[in-house]
Copies of this chain bind each other. A is one copy, B any other.
């Protein structure tokens, strides 16, 4: 059986069957990040992501600086989804023989710049030759208080579903490059969408606050599109959910570009991915606390009983969330 015929959740199940969780693994394969116990009372959050040229990035569109930034950002985002504090990073770089030294320098400048904003410092890694194409593999280690961790599995019927920031901007930014339509919109519009795609800002502080103030019952970062992330929370929590399409926050810039291309911005928000915002669930009685926090949050839906299923309401039409988002064999944290 070839991997191209194989769904992503099944591949993870295969790996979990072969490598069951060992002692000290509080949360292992299958959530945004692993939570590990090395000492009693102390917990480590660890997450790892790989970016491969030609699959995850195109060097015509992303600079070395942005690649360094983004490769750390996607890992910080996984730590953010658990409410952890990122601390250290390891980078393994595969470089071709004709890679410019300047490329490597710019990569680490971008990496350092976003690391400084999130207390995350390079501590090691590996640099190797690659026969074709650049390969980046980043591991981030962080800390989290024992017993107090945001996971995917705590959502309960009656909880509300909310997201940080706006969705679909990364897909809109990618479309600017892929459709060759850069320069057709205002500099503000293009800058906003390019940044969303190339230099995302993970919601580390927001995740920490949601955890510290005991607000969220479940959370995920939006790396594979809202539809996939909501389904993951529903599956892990054994609940259903309804998302209201008209409540999903989408920026004007995203709507502008979508309209120009004859695309539906809502589809980008649901299935585009790489927004690196957080989606989380919380009980309605926490609404007051949440509003005080001045986090950019929008309520977009409700958790239902499992039997209800997982749907998005688009102009009164109930659409199953199964149909959206990535399902090639690419998976965070296995």
Contacts and interface: CB of A to CB of B under 8 A. Distances in A.
Contacts of A87: 24, 36, 38
B129 A330 contact: yes
Interface residues on A, range: 35 or more
A111 interface: yes
A333 interface: yes
A254 interface: no
Contacts of A88: 22, 24-25, 34, 36, 46
A16 to B, nearest CB: 9
Nearest to A143: B38
Interface string A140-160: 010100000000000000000
Given A19-B112, A88-B25, A105-B14, A128 B50 contact: yes
A189 interface: no
Given A18-B105, A141-B141, A52 B126 contact: no
Interface string A1-12: 111101010011
Contacts of A46: 88, 90, 123-124, 139, 141
A47 B124 contact: yes
A39 interface: yes
Contacts of A11: 101, 104, 127
Interface in A199-235: none
A131 interface: yes
A137 interface: yes
